[in-house]
């Protein structure tokens, strides 16, 4: 026959849950850091200004949630692509004319047709890359606690 001290058992379980929780939070932080780095390094576009790459950051939004974001205004257009559209030269009634070079020749137009762009899902690829890392780190944390 054996007996269990309920207070000691509860204290031990509470301490174990706190330790495991801390390891899981650390796994989430590490995964978010790796995801942001992956999104910056493994870009699917040619950078002209570096704003998109430098705007990629990560942060903990709560103890159980992390977010990887890009602050560049055009990041959504790169991630999701764009449909074909007209670009007017008249921005806000100022009568602007668009200027661009094509094959070394400068052109001036009141509007131009943009054929659209293919999606370059750099953020989705970063998420897909770090989800298995997070799972592995969590499994290691559980193994460390109970293995």
Residue range 94-126, pLDDT digits in tens? 667 888 888 999 998 888 899 999 999 999 999
Share of the chain above pLDDT 70, in %: 96
CA-based nearest residue to 131, from 24, 37, 35, 58: 35
Tokens standing for residue 14: 């509470």
In DSSP terms, 85 is beta-bridged to: 114
* Average model confidence (pLDDT) across the chain: 89
How high is the pLDDT of residue 94? Answer: 63
Domain ranges of the chain: 9-82+117-146, 83-115
CA dist 97 and 21 (Å) reads 59
How high is the pLDDT of residue 56? Answer: 95
Mean pLDDT of the region 131-141: 93
Mean pLDDT of the region 12-32: 90
Residue range 27-56, pLDDT digits in tens? 999 999 999 999 998 877 778 889 999 999
Q: What is the DSSP string of 1-24?
A: -----HHHHHHHHHHHHHHHHHHH
Mean pLDDT of the region 11-36: 91
Contact residues for 133 (Cβ-Cβ < 8 A; gap 6+): 30, 31, 34
**DSSP-derived 3-state class of residue 29:** helix
CA-based nearest residue to 120, from 85, 74, 77: 77
């Amino acid at each position: 026959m054996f007996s269990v001290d309920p207070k000691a058992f509860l204290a031990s379980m509470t301490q174990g849950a706190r330790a495991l929780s801390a390891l899981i939070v650390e796994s989430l932080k590490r995964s978010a850091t790796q995801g942001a780095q992956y999104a910056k390094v493994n870009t699917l576009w040619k950078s002209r200004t570096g704003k998109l790459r430098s705007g990629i950051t990560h942060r903990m939004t709560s103890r159980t949630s992390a977010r990887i974001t890009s602050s560049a205004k055009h990041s959504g257009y790169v991630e999701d692509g764009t449909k074909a559209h007209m670009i007017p030269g008249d921005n806000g009634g100022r009568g602007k004319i668009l200027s661009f070079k094509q094959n070394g020749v400068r052109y001036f137009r009141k509007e131009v047709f943009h054929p659209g762009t293919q999606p370059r899902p750099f953020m989705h690829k970063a998420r897909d890359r770090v989800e298995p890392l997070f799972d592995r780190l969590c499994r290691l944390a559980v193994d460390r606690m109970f293995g």
